[in-house]
Amino acid sequence: MRAINITNANKRDAEVCMETRKKASGVKKVLANGESPVSMKILKQNLALSFEALLRQYTDTMRMGRAIIESDPDVDMELTGKPLGSTRKLYLRQNGQIAYRVDLFQVEKDPQGNEKGRRDYEKALSNITGDSVVQWSGKKVPKSTAIRKFVFVHKQVLRHISGLTYDFLYGMAKELHESDSLMFVGGGKRGNEPLVITQGGEEYRGFLEGRIDGDKYCLILHLTNIELKAVSV
């Protein structure tokens, strides 16, 4: 559960909680005997048996192919299929050695896939908590319009942490529920900057949806980085 600073229509801000609520699937997978399957990671091969390593050993693909047919040098009978526990991602050099210092670049390509240029990769800083505040912009978008204009790729549920923040969030949800619209929210002092949920993460535009049922409320932050546009014929 993450914290988020957000303002309401009166420009009052409060820190509340934000979490992802996943709906349980109604489909259950079972084996032929009725037992539930268990997911696990297994070792496919080690680095010494990779295609590149075997090619260096046998010098050409024909020799390597004959060796694989005759003696299976690409399979370690002791390690292949071994269950794995926790793993960690590593970057490797072309010679298979671990790269301890990696420079990341952002590569720009044209529609044909050709590289146009590159620049140092810059990690965007999170701007939803701490000294940063997510601004209530006052710009409402009817739900019927938003669903045809944007592709919402993630959603977060906002939750209160006290009686005061309950009133704070309930009031926001009530206003949006009664107007049947979404509220555009953004980062920065003017609220016109994209939202970055985690450091180095994607930039999104945010829209708040509110629902109420008696004294209960639901306030959902919808995130999008895809806008649908009409195709001109």
Indicate the number of domains in the chain: 2
- Please give, one letter per residue, the 3-state secondary structure of 159-220: ECCCHHHHHHHHHHHHHHHHHCEEEEEEECCCCCECEECCCCCCEEEEEEEEEEECCEEEEE
Is residue 204 situated within a structural domain? Answer: yes
Is residue 85 situated within a structural domain? Answer: no
Judge if 58 and 147 occupy the same domain: no
Mean pLDDT across the chain: 89
pLDDT digits (tens, 9 = 90+) for 3-25: 999 999 999 999 999 998 777 77
- Domain of residue 169: give its range: 2-21+125-227
| Residues in CB range of 108: below 8 A, 6 or more apart | 115, 116, 117, 118
Is residue 39 situated within a structural domain? Answer: no
Residue 212: φ, ψ to 5°? -135, 155
Q: How confident is the model at residue 232 (pLDDT cuts 50, 70, 90)?
A: low
pLDDT at 172: 96
The percentage of residues in the chain with a pLDDT greater than 70, rounded to a whole number, is 99
Residue 123 reports pLDDT greater than 80: no
Is residue 14 situated within a structural domain? Answer: yes
CA 213 – CA 211 distance, rounded (Å): 7
CA 39 – CA 29 distance, rounded (Å): 12
Is residue 96 situated within a structural domain? Answer: no
Judge if 129 and 17 occupy the same domain: yes
Judge if 154 and 193 occupy the same domain: yes
Overall pTM surpassing 0.85 (yes/no) = no
Where does residue 181 rank: exposed (0-12), middle (13-18), buried (19+ CB within 10 A)? buried
Judge if 168 and 223 occupy the same domain: yes
Query: Which phi-psi region, left, alpha or beta, contains residue 55 (left: φ > 0; alpha: ψ -120 to 50)?
Result: alpha
Is residue 183 situated within a structural domain? Answer: yes
Is residue 168 situated within a structural domain? Answer: yes
Judge if 58 and 130 occupy the same domain: no
Is residue 105 situated within a structural domain? Answer: no
Judge if 132 and 170 occupy the same domain: yes
Task: Provide, for the chain, the percentages of residues in helix, strand and coil under a 3-state DSSP scheme, each rounded to the nearest 5.
Answer: 20, 35, 45
Judge if 10 and 50 occupy the same domain: no
Judge if 206 and 133 occupy the same domain: yes
**Which alpha helices (H) appear in 59-197, and where do they start and end?**
61-71, 143-149, 163-179
